[in-house]
Amino acid sequence: RIARSSAVLVLATGYSFTALSTIAHALSFPGLFAPGGLLGAGPQSTAWLYMFWHGGFPLFVIAYAVLRGSKREAMPASATGAPAIFGAVVGVTVVVIGFAALALGGHDALPAIMAGNHYTPAMVGVVSTVWLSSLFALLVLWRRRPHSVLDLWLMVVMCAWLFDIALSAVLNAGR
Mean confidence (pLDDT) of the chain: 88
| Rounded Cα distance, 8 and 94, in Å | 20
Cis amide prior to 146 (ω within 30 degrees):
yes
Contacts (Cβ under 8 Å, ≥6 apart) of 60 = 10, 11, 13, 14, 15, 17
User: 25 versus 72: which is more confidently predicted?
Assistant: 25
13 confidence band (pLDDT: 50, 70, 90): very high
Residue 83: the pLDDT is 84
173 confidence band (pLDDT: 50, 70, 90): low
79 confidence band (pLDDT: 50, 70, 90): low
109 confidence band (pLDDT: 50, 70, 90): confident
User: What mean pLDDT comes out for the span 9-36?
Assistant: 90
User: What mean pLDDT comes out for the span 79-106?
Assistant: 89
What proportion of the chain, given as a percentage, has pLDDT over 90? Answer: 54
Q: Is 126 exposed, middle or buried (CB count within 10 Å of its CB: 0-12, 13-18, 19+)?
A: buried
Is the pLDDT at 2 greater than 70? The verdict is: no
Residue 58: the pLDDT is 97
Tell which residue, 134, 10, 18, has the closest CA to residue 66.
Answer: 10
Is the pLDDT at 140 greater than 80? The verdict is: yes
Give tens-digit pLDDT for 47-69.
899 999 999 999 999 999 999 98
Is the pLDDT at 80 greater than 90? The verdict is: no
